[in-house]
Structure 1
Amino acid sequence: MRPGIGGGLLALLLLAGPNAATAGELVATRSDGTEIARLPVPVGAGWCVLWHHSVQGFEVSDCYENRDGRMVLVRTHLPDFAAGLDHIPGRGRQVSDGQGGYFILDIDEPVPGDAYVLRPGGPEVDHRLQVGDTVVSLSALAPRDRVRIALTGDEN
């Protein structure tokens, strides 16, 4: 090894240590253990699960945040008071979206175990994960299968 390389590598590893602890990844896994998505979600960043309402067809979203390595539900958007969609009093605050629907903001509900299981619907429902500009269709990759969505990282 050339002089100075080892120290530089050690410094790089020391600098990467805290970043690795805050890196976080959103991982989606089929019931057979097959990983179908792995998306970076650093502390403070968020993602949404999007789908089309099975009766009305409009898009619904549930949005989460990586808060110090924990998966936290922060808000949802519901374009209508359709079947199965409603605001539960005391769980966030409901505000108009200005187009006939509503947001539920400030939910701030930690997800137990930083993971949950979703059974994606077929193509008409199209359950998707969205992290920034990246969108992964769980319905295309695992329609009607059990998919575990988990926030992973050094803390988890």
Structure 2
Amino acid sequence: MPCCPIARRRALGAAALLLSLLSLLSLLWPPLANADGARLAVIDEHGDTLLNLPMPEGAGWCLAWNHSVAGFPVHDCYRHQRGRMVLERSHLPDFAAGLDHIPGRGRQVSDGRGGYWIEAIDEPVPGNAYRLRVGSPRVDHRLLFQGQRISLSDIAAGERVTIRLHRPLP
């Protein structure tokens, strides 16, 4: 977490600037357009929205982080499917520190580099949201979305957040 309120405001200001740029891009590049208005929001424990990304039907994103023991990157990848947040696949570069494939939950395939993907998990996330305690900069929880890397650790390290897919009310 940033050391003081000024640092936190600067981090939130940088995130707001990134969101403004993504919104501008959505006007210039139609695949970013969002006909149903769905958004992926990161909300802190006080109810403040830290991040609010357009998430059109069919769009996907990953939550990535560095494993706290082994240090390698781990990915959980989601997709907006018919109004639902669905865990589509996960990447695990090693079986270390309790990471393993659970038989019957997706299909394990090699990544060609000693790790593996668990494909076809296709599990809806209950309530289209989950809670996360954001890790330190060393863990670097980050959202990967349309070629962008947005570090949650830079704006909310040590905080509990909710990551939610939602549609605005009509």
Could you tell me which residue of structure 2 aligns to residue 142 of structure 1? 156
Shift of 1:84: 2.6
> What's the TM-score once normalised by structure 2's chain length?
0.77
**CA offsets 1:19-73 (integer angstroms, 9 cap, x no match):** 8663311000111112111111110110000000111111110000000110000
Aligned counterpart for 2:54 among listed residues 20, 40, 50 = 40
Shift of 1:76: 0.5
Could you tell me which residue of structure 2 aligns to residue 28 of structure 1? 42
**CA offsets 1:67-113 (integer angstroms, 9 cap, x no match):** 01100000000011110311111100001111110000000000000
Could you tell me which residue of structure 2 aligns to residue 4 of structure 1? none
SS at match of 1:23: coil
The answer on whether the counterparts of 1:23 and 1:43 sit within 8 Å (CA) in structure 2 is: no
> What's the TM-score once normalised by structure 1's chain length?
0.83
Instruction: Tell me how far apart the structure 2 counterparts of residues 40 and 149 of structure 1 sit (CA, whole Å).
Output: 13
The answer as to 2:136 corresponding to 1:122 is yes
Shift of 1:153: 1.1
RMSD: 1.5
Instruction: Tell me how far apart the structure 1 counterparts of residues 167 and 107 of structure 2 sit (CA, whole Å).
Output: 30
Instruction: Tell me how far apart the structure 2 counterparts of residues 46 and 73 of structure 1 sit (CA, whole Å).
Output: 10
- Tell me which amino acid in the other structure corresponds to 2:74: V
Aligned counterpart for 2:119 among listed residues 105, 129, 136 = 105
Instruction: Tell me how far apart the structure 1 counterparts of residues 34 and 77 of structure 2 sit (CA, whole Å).
Output: 23
Runs of 4+ in 1 over 6 A off after TM superposition: none
Structure 2 unaligned blocks of 5 or more: 1-32
The answer on whether the counterparts of 2:107 and 2:119 sit within 8 Å (CA) in structure 1 is: yes
The answer on whether the counterparts of 1:41 and 1:131 sit within 8 Å (CA) in structure 2 is: no
The answer on whether the counterparts of 2:34 and 2:55 sit within 8 Å (CA) in structure 1 is: no
SS at match of 1:139: helix
Could you tell me which residue of structure 2 aligns to residue 5 of structure 1? none
